[in-house]
Chains A and B, each alone.
Chain A
């Protein structure tokens, strides 16, 4: 298996632009998580899905952030409009069941200028 695949690896965008991050989980994994990592706040859970259904989005910072999982093999995290404070590394992770170790993607480093 190729693991959790995220794209792009790096994204640089101007403030106000829309940004879409993509994730392909491991086949057969029913859970998908989006995390954000910054120096100030560490690893924060933004949202997670179970069987393509959003379960907990309490970590989504504000309405500018949205996430979708249209099918079991694809998820997107969108920021619109982006702001400099959104600059971070965004990780996607998947797991086959509760309390298993997550498998993380390589992350997307987002820089908003």
Chain B
């Protein structure tokens, strides 16, 4: 069975701090895809990144970076120099290549205070 665990329910930081959101997944598939989505207070779900299981290179996009480690089944998300606009709920998700649907974690609520 596939499962995504985001153990951190809520994180609070002060602006300019770095913060890491954890994501641990379970799957028996050798090929799979991992995703992060952002849900700001306005409510929409915004796609951030997709990573396939064959690509363990870390990815950086501006202040965002992702650390994928198959050995620990983790796909963690780091925001560097956080800003108030980063305040949102962040979801990690998993999909197998022969499956059409995403399995979402329960989300981590990030609050960035000025």
Residues of A that sit less than 8 Å from B by CB: 31, 33, 42-43, 45, 48, 50, 55-56, 89, 91, 93, 98-107, 109
Contacts and interface: CB of A to CB of B under 8 A. Distances in A.
B46 to A, nearest CB: 8
B41 to A, nearest CB: 13
A91 B46 CA distance: 12
A72 to B, nearest CB: 16
A42 B52 CA distance: 24
Contacts of A55: 100
B11 interface: no
Contact of A101 (B47, B100, B107): B47
Nearest to A103: B47
B96 to A, nearest CB: 8
Contacts of B28: none
Query: Could you tell me the dominant secondary structure of chain A's interface residues?
Result: strand
B50 to A, nearest CB: 5
Interface size range of chain B in the complex: 20 to 34
B85 interface: no
A98 B98 CA distance: 8
Most buried by B among A50, A56, A101: A101
A104 B91 contact: no
Interface of B: 33, 35, 37, 43-47, 49-50, 52, 91, 95, 97-102, 104-107
Given A48-B101, A50-B100, A100 B50 contact: yes
Nearest to A98: B100
30 contacts: A33-B101, A42-B104, A42-B105, A42-B106, A43-B91, A43-B104, A43-B107, A45-B101, A45-B102, A48-B100, A48-B101, A56-B100, A56-B101, A89-B43, A91-B45, A93-B45, A98-B95, A98-B97, A98-B99, A98-B100, A99-B50, A99-B52, A99-B95, A99-B97, A101-B35, A101-B47, A104-B45, A106-B43, A107-B45, A109-B43
Contacts of B98: 98
Contacts of B35: 101
A43 to B, nearest CB: 4
A99 B98 CA distance: 9
